[in-house]
Chains A and B, each alone.
Chain A
Amino acid sequence: GAVVSQHPSRVICKSGTSVKIECRSLDFQATTMFWYRQFPKQSLMLMATSNEGSKATYEQGVEKDKFLINHASLTLSTLTVTSAHPEDSSFYICSAGTSGDETQYFGPGTRLLVL
């Protein structure tokens, strides 16, 4: 149980384009989903927290207009990187959890490369 998928697993795009990453909880309903970013040889950095049906809460320094998050259902959250630039190239990982349980289950990650 507690399987989380992400799609795509890797994406290469041109600078200035937008990229959408999907995160799905496959066998449970996730009241909360989290989006992280990870640079090489570093720990995970939380970008934002999203609760189903409400606006995402962004961490300090994360531009909400650049990283659009939608959590339309209890099994799907999307992260859209708008007008991507090379410095947005990173490994993006989502996780999902349920209310009352602090455990988060992670997706396999999406490697984004912006040329």
Chain B
Amino acid sequence: GQQLNQSPQSMFIQEGEDVSMNCTSSSIFNTWLWYKQDPGEGPVLLIALYKAGELTSNGRLTAQFGITRKDSFLNISASIPSDVGIYFCAGPAAAGNKLTFGGGTRVLVKP
């Protein structure tokens, strides 16, 4: 079945740094969704991408829909402590309206 591979699995950030994570697939996706999950909460939609090549921003977040339709990246600029959490990419599965999720990128603060 379709799989989404996210990297890195985890990263440490220092306040003010820019961070980047990406999501790749062996098959084509027509939509890419980026969610953030805080501890003990449900995922919150950050950015939705619907067209190949699309670059969309939401505040300090920027995401791009890869031109091959097989990848997407999410950038966070000037990170702040509340950016800590787990970021998931997701895309519609081959059949129906189910979503396939990546394994998540856990963003932590450098001690």
Residues of A within 8 A of B (CB): 2, 4, 6, 32, 34, 41, 43-44, 46, 49, 91, 93, 95, 97, 99, 102-109, 111
Contacts and interface: CB of A to CB of B under 8 A. Distances in A.
Contact of A49 (B90, B96, B106): B96
Interface residues of B, number: 24
Nearest to B44: A106
A102 B92 contact: yes
B88 interface: yes
A4 B40 CA distance: 15
Interface string B11-36: 00000000000000000001101010
A102 B88 contact: no
Nearest to A100: B97
B42 A106 contact: yes
Contacts of A34: 98-99
Q: In the complex, which of the residues B88, B90, B99 has the most CB atoms of chain A within 10 Å of its own CB atom?
A: B99
Given A32-B97, A102-B92, A102-B97, A43 B42 contact: no
A109 B96 contact: no
Nearest to A93: B42
B85 interface: no
A99 B97 CA distance: 8
Nearest to B99: A104
Contacts of B43: 44, 93, 106
A105 B45 contact: yes
B40 A111 contact: yes
A43 B102 contact: yes
Interface string B59-80: 0000000000000000000000
B107 interface: no
A65 B44 CA distance: 30
A81 B99 CA distance: 23
Contacts of A111: 40
A32 B99 CA distance: 12
Given A43-B104, A109-B41, 18 more contacts: A32-B97, A34-B98, A43-B103, A44-B88, A93-B42, A97-B97, A102-B30, A102-B31, A102-B33, A102-B91, A102-B97, A102-B99, A103-B31, A104-B33, A106-B35, A106-B42, A107-B42, A108-B41
